[in-house]
């Protein structure tokens, strides 16, 4: 039982740290995929609304 509780605690800590790390590393597609030949505008300007 002690090993199971330890495994759950370690899994929770790993999940929390991975979530924090990924949330700090995310960028919008407008900044991530912009190159000299790409025409990426402000997100939301090019949406089609009927």
Give me the tens of pLDDT residue by residue for the chain, a chain 50 residues long. 999 999 999 999 999 999 999 888 887 776 776 666 656 566 666 666 55
What pLDDT shows up at residue 19? Answer: 93
What are the distances in angstroms from CA 31 to CA 3, 28, 38, 40, 46? 44, 6, 11, 8, 16
Give the global pTM.
0.52
Give the Cα separation of 40 and 42 in Å (integer): 7
What pLDDT shows up at residue 36? Answer: 67
What pLDDT shows up at residue 41? Answer: 62
């Amino acid at each position: 039982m002690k090993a199971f509780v330890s495994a759950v605690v370690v899994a929770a800590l790993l999940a929390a740290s991975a979530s924090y790390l990924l949330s700090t590393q995310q960028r919008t597609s407008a900044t991530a995929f912009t190159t000299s030949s790409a025409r990426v505008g402000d997100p939301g300007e090019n949406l089609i609304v009927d």
